[in-house]
Structure 1
Amino acid sequence: MRVILLGAGASKSYGASPTGQRMPIANDFFPTFFRLKAASNPWVLRDGLISYLKSQKGIEDTDAYLAAGVDIEEIHSEIAVKLAGVEREPGGIDRIILSRPYNQLIFLFATALNEIANGPVSQSHVDLANSLGPEDVVLTFNWDTLMDRALMEATDWSPDNGYGISPHRLFRDGWTEPDDRTSSNKLIKLHGSVNWLTSHPVYEGEELVLTHALPADSLFVYEHATRPYATHAGRYTPGYAPMSYGYYPPNLTDVPGRPAPDGYLIVKFQPKNPWMPEGQAGKNGLPSMPLIIPPVKEKSYKFFGSLFETLWEQAGNALIDCDEVLVIGYSFPKTDLKSLDLFREAFLRRRSVPRVTIIDPNPSRPKDVFRLELGIPDSHLRVVAGPFVGAETIGPIFGS
């Protein structure tokens, strides 16, 4: 049994996007975003982010500042820290102001990845999917759906149960319950996914809660849409490949909404701006948003109940049981201590030393992690110092 860990370098292998862009990383996110059509789409909101940069940082030419290659993780973390500092303030005006750019950044992540992935299935990921054995497990910290689509193309994998958890509903031109089909492989997405959806968070007193009234770990998965769906302000955008959607995902229909606290009423209104094109699709249901763990220092795993606890536990068990670990394009960032702890705790519980292969153009950091922090001897460590290019890379490794 093998565990394959995919990092940002694996997603960078996708070069078939009609946009001409490759998946971004933290310091090239905004330069990449500004080269996408989404950057000029009035439905793609970043007014909250612009307001934050102007009022909190004194930046007037915000687009120039962002396009210069500012690290999006630093901005998101900075907003998250300030948001945490005002969450319990009476009145909550500052937390409303800060929540807007915080949530808009989540949508910007999703729309950029969806735009780039909206093309042919990634051949390098298909090659990887074809190389998998029936018990192999794929772990990833990536939010994109390149591996999801490749598994659907090449194997019997299905989002009904292939994520290691059972979604509450799946969207296939309408919300449906998951069926009982089985997937031989698991794709465990440890930081969520752009096609995983939940409802919007709101403050109820001092507590941040979801607007749906289901358990917090309820997962909604978007698979495909071939016709308009109900969404925020009816702003459906056509023309997307499976697992990708326009800026606004489908609303959650037939889902109970959280009732207003005693003594309050829920009032829904939408300001109309003359420069904003009107959406033509339906508006019923609860507006949804991507369910991802943003790249901030204090990650909000517990906000979604037991969802991520379950996923990380499954990942740990796979690392305990596997014979071999293949790491593709993941550098073990020094700020992401939880990922290193995952490996450290799993390897401490092993009865044998696994074989480890690293594929990375700059393998020094992951190599040092496995040698010096995880105790993998050189006899069990193989390094391929180069990019991930599918069969050309993994064929010699897997003997195919």
Structure 2
Amino acid sequence: MRVILLGAGASKSYDASPTGQRVPIANDFFPTFFKLKAAANPWVLRDGLIHYLQLQKGVSDTDAYLAAGVDIEDIHSEIADRLASVEKEAGGISRIILSRPYNQLIFLFATTLNEIANGPVSQSHVDLAESLRPDDVVLTFNWDTLMDRAMAAAAGWAVDSGYGIKPHSVFRDGWSPPEYHHSPNKLIKLHGSVNWLTAHPIYEGEELVLTHALPAESLFVYEHATRPYATHAGRYMDGYAPLTYGYYPPNLSNVPGRSAPDGYLFVKVQPRMPWMPEGRSTKEGIPSMPLIIPPVKDKSYQFFGSLFESLWQQAGDALQACDEVVVIGYSFPRTDLKSLGLFKDAFVRRRSVPRVTIIDPSPNRPKQVFQHELGIPKSHLRVVPGPFLGAETISPLFGS
């Protein structure tokens, strides 16, 4: 049994996007975003982010500031820290102001990845999917759906059962319960996915809650749409490949909404801006948003109930049981202590030393982690210093 861990470097291998762009990392996110058509789409909202940069940081030309290569993780963490500091503030006005850019950044992550992935299935990921053995497990911290699509195309994998958790509903031109399907491999997405959906969060007093009334861990998975769906303000966008969608995902239907506390009413206001094109689809249901863990310092796994606890437990169990770990394009960031802790906790429980293969253009950091922090001897460590190139990289290693 092997565990294959995919980091940002694996997604960088995708070079077939009609946009001409590759999946960005933190410091080239905004320069990449501004090269996409989505950056000029008035439905792709960033007014809250612009307002934050102007008022809180004194930035006048916000687009130029962001396009210069500002680290999106730094901005998101800064906003998250400010939001945490005002969560108990009476009246909650600052919470509303700060929640807007915080949530808009989540949508910007999703729309950028969806726009880039909206093309042919990634051949390098298909090569990897075809090399998987029946008991192999794929772990990833990536939100994109490049590996998801490749596994569906090459290995008979399905979103209904392939994520290691059972979705509440799957969207295939409408919401329906997941179908019974045995996926040959698990794809465990430890930070969520752009095609995973949940409801928007709102504050009830000092508590942040979801607008649906289901258990917090309830997962909605988007697979495909071939016709318009109900979404926020009817702003459906067509022309997207499976597991990708336009800026607004489908609303959640046949789902109970959260009731307002006694003595209160929920009020929904949508201002009509003269420059904003009107949506042409319907808007019934509960507006949804991507279910991802954003790259902030204090990650809110617990907000989604037991969802991520289950995923991380499965990942740890796989790392404890596997014979080999293959790390593709993941550098073990020094600030992400939870991911390193996942490996440490799993390796402590092991009774044998696994073989480790590192595929990375800059392998020094992961090599040091495995040798000095995880105790992997040189005899069990193989390093391939270069980018992930699909079959060209995999065949000599996996014999496929």
Q: TM-score, normalised by structure 1?
A: 1.00
| 2:222 counterpart SS class | strand
The question of 1:350 aligning with 2:350 is answered yes
| 2:346 counterpart SS class | helix
Q: Measure the CA separation in 2 of the matches of 1:269 and 1:96.
A: 14
Q: Percent identity?
A: 80
Cα distance, 1:328 vs structure 2:
0.1
Q: Measure the CA separation in 1 of the matches of 2:398 and 2:33.
A: 36
- Which residue number corresponds to residue 162 of structure 1? 162
- Which residue number corresponds to residue 126 of structure 2? 126
| 1:196 counterpart SS class | strand
Gaps of 5+ in 2: none
- Which residue number corresponds to residue 329 of structure 2? 329
Cα distance, 1:156 vs structure 2:
1.5
- Which residue number corresponds to residue 91 of structure 1? 91
- Which residue number corresponds to residue 226 of structure 2? 226
The question of 1:209 aligning with 2:209 is answered yes
Cα distance, 1:269 vs structure 2:
2.5
| 2:245 counterpart SS class | coil
- Which residue number corresponds to residue 112 of structure 1? 112
Q: Measure the CA separation in 1 of the matches of 2:180 and 2:206.
A: 40
Q: Which aligned pairs between 1:45-60 and structure 2 lie closer than 5 A?
A: 45-60=45-60
| 1:144 counterpart SS class | coil
- Which residue number corresponds to residue 79 of structure 1? 79
Q: Which aligned pairs between 1:297-336 and structure 2 lie closer than 5 A?
A: 297-336=297-336
Q: Which amino acid aligns with 1:326?
A: V
Q: Measure the CA separation in 1 of the matches of 2:151 and 2:172.
A: 17
Cα distance, 1:266 vs structure 2:
1.5
| 2:5 counterpart SS class | strand
Q: Measure the CA separation in 2 of the matches of 1:380 and 1:45.
A: 49
- Which residue number corresponds to residue 27 of structure 1? 27
Cα distance, 1:32 vs structure 2:
0.1
The question of 1:172 aligning with 2:172 is answered yes
- Which residue number corresponds to residue 191 of structure 1? 191
- Which residue number corresponds to residue 384 of structure 1? 384
Q: Which amino acid aligns with 1:64?
A: A
Cα distance, 1:180 vs structure 2:
1.2
Q: Which amino acid aligns with 1:194?
A: V
- Which residue number corresponds to residue 375 of structure 1? 375
- Which residue number corresponds to residue 296 of structure 2? 296
Q: Which amino acid aligns with 2:287?
A: P
| 1:246 counterpart SS class | coil
Q: Measure the CA separation in 1 of the matches of 2:87 and 2:321.
A: 42
Q: How many residues align?
A: 400
Q: Which amino acid aligns with 2:228?
A: P
Q: Which amino acid aligns with 1:223?
A: E
- Which residue number corresponds to residue 263 of structure 1? 263
| 2:51 counterpart SS class | helix
| 1:15 counterpart SS class | coil
- Which residue number corresponds to residue 364 of structure 2? 364
Q: Which amino acid aligns with 1:49?
A: L
* Superposition misfits of 4+ residues, deviation over 4 angstroms: none
Q: Which amino acid aligns with 1:146?
A: L
Q: Which amino acid aligns with 1:397?
A: L
| 2:274 counterpart SS class | coil
| 2:258 counterpart SS class | coil
Q: Measure the CA separation in 2 of the matches of 1:27 and 1:274.
A: 34
CA distances 1:98-120 after superposition (whole Å, capped 9, x unpaired): 00000000000000000000000
Gaps of 5+ in 1: none
| 1:221 counterpart SS class | strand
Q: Which amino acid aligns with 2:115?
A: E
> Cα RMSD between the aligned structures?
0.4
Q: Measure the CA separation in 2 of the matches of 1:241 and 1:361.
A: 30
Q: Measure the CA separation in 2 of the matches of 1:123 and 1:180.
A: 28
Q: Which amino acid aligns with 2:92?
A: G
Q: Measure the CA separation in 2 of the matches of 1:241 and 1:223.
A: 9
Cα distance, 1:268 vs structure 2:
2.0
Q: Measure the CA separation in 2 of the matches of 1:250 and 1:155.
A: 27
The question of 1:243 aligning with 2:243 is answered yes
- Which residue number corresponds to residue 65 of structure 1? 65
| 1:222 counterpart SS class | strand
- Which residue number corresponds to residue 100 of structure 2? 100
| 1:375 counterpart SS class | coil
| 1:4 counterpart SS class | strand
CA distances 1:56-77 after superposition (whole Å, capped 9, x unpaired): 0000000000000000000000
CA distances 1:264-322 after superposition (whole Å, capped 9, x unpaired): 11222211000000000000000000000000000000000000000000000000000
